[in-house]
């Protein structure tokens, strides 16, 4: 089943298992692919054949799935078969702007008795109609769908578990660490090394002595929004 949000307004994201907007998929997919990419930046290091890798960011996960729809195998006479479009139009609507939300809806994918395993938005849909009646009515179709992971700001903060990063901390530097790598680990954003440097009067972000201590400034309100940490699960 694909659950479609039922809330009102752009920031009101709620779901109802009994909503008429939910999409029931009658055939299990043959395959389901979840992909995720993580960005690392190479840092040249003296006397090393390979550069050090510094984590910078993680992109939202993507899910690709082929969904099959069939209205031919019904008890109706051949000239009265329903168009398969009656089954697929709800799925196509996932790419349309939803009323007062001013954006396409967020949806959750749930298979069988399993819990929700993916929450995201539709980013691409390819329609392949494979069977027609003598009257030209399409009765079978495969829709290749791609979804991108989505989380609200509240979900993001809960998932990231920033360990009370809204208060200042003292950090003990370990060998090989840079301000950028510390910022990526503590704030999930390597670009915040500048905040650490400014708070500690550091001119060279690469010149950190192992065992030294630095102050980590608190997260500014809203600074964690939209950040996905590498250890996040779907």
Pairing mode, strands 213-216 and 32-35: unpaired
Choices 2.40.160, 2.120.10, 2.40.30, 2.60.120: CATH for 2-150: 2.40.30
160-216 fold: Membrane-bound Lytic Murein Transglycosylase D; Chain A (3.10.350)
CB atoms within 10 A of CB 107: 24
CA distance 70 to 87: 8
The pLDDT of residue 124 is 96
pLDDT < 50 stretches in the chain? 161-163, 221-234
CB contact at 8 A, 21 and 6: yes
The pLDDT of residue 6 is 74
The pLDDT of residue 15 is 82
How high is the mean pLDDT of the chain? 80
Query: pLDDT tens digits for 14-53?
Result: 888 888 888 888 888 888 899 999 888 887 766 677 777 8
CA distance 116 to 52: 38
Q: What residues have CB less than 8 Å from 160, skipping those under 6 apart?
A: 188, 224, 227, 229, 232
- Segments making up each domain of the chain, as ranges: 2-150, 160-216
The pLDDT of residue 145 is 95
The pLDDT of residue 181 is 87
Burial 191-203 (b: 16+ CB within 10 A, else e): ebbebbbeebebe
């Amino acid at each position: 089943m694909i659950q479609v949000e039922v809330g009102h307004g752009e920031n009101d994201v709620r779901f109802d298992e009994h909503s008429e907007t939910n999409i029931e998929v009658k055939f299990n997919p043959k395959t389901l692919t979840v992909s995720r990419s993580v960005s690392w930046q190479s840092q040249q290091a003296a006397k090393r054949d390979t550069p050090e890798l510094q984590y910078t960011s993680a992109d939202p996960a993507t899910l690709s799935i082929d969904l099959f729809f069939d209205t031919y195998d019904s008890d109706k006479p051949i000239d009265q078969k329903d168009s398969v479009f009656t089954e697929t139009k709800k799925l196509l609507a996932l790419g349309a702007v939803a009323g007062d939300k001013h954006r396409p809806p967020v949806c959750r994918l749930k298979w069988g008795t399993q819990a929700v395993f993916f929450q995201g938005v539709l980013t691409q849909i390819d329609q392949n109609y494979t069977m027609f009646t003598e009257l030209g009515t399409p009765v079978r179709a495969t829709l290749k769908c791609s979804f991108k992971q989505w989380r609200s700001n509240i979900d993001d903060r809960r998932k990231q578990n920033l360990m009370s990063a809204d208060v200042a901390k003292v950090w003990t530097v370990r060998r090989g660490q840079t301000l950028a790598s510390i910022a990526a680990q503590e704030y999930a954003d390597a670009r915040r090394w500048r905040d650490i440097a400014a708070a500690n009067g550091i001119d060279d972000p690469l010149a950190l002595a192992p065992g030294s201590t630095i102050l980590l400034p608190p997260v500014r309100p809203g600074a964690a929004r939209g950040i996905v940490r590498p250890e996040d699960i779907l």
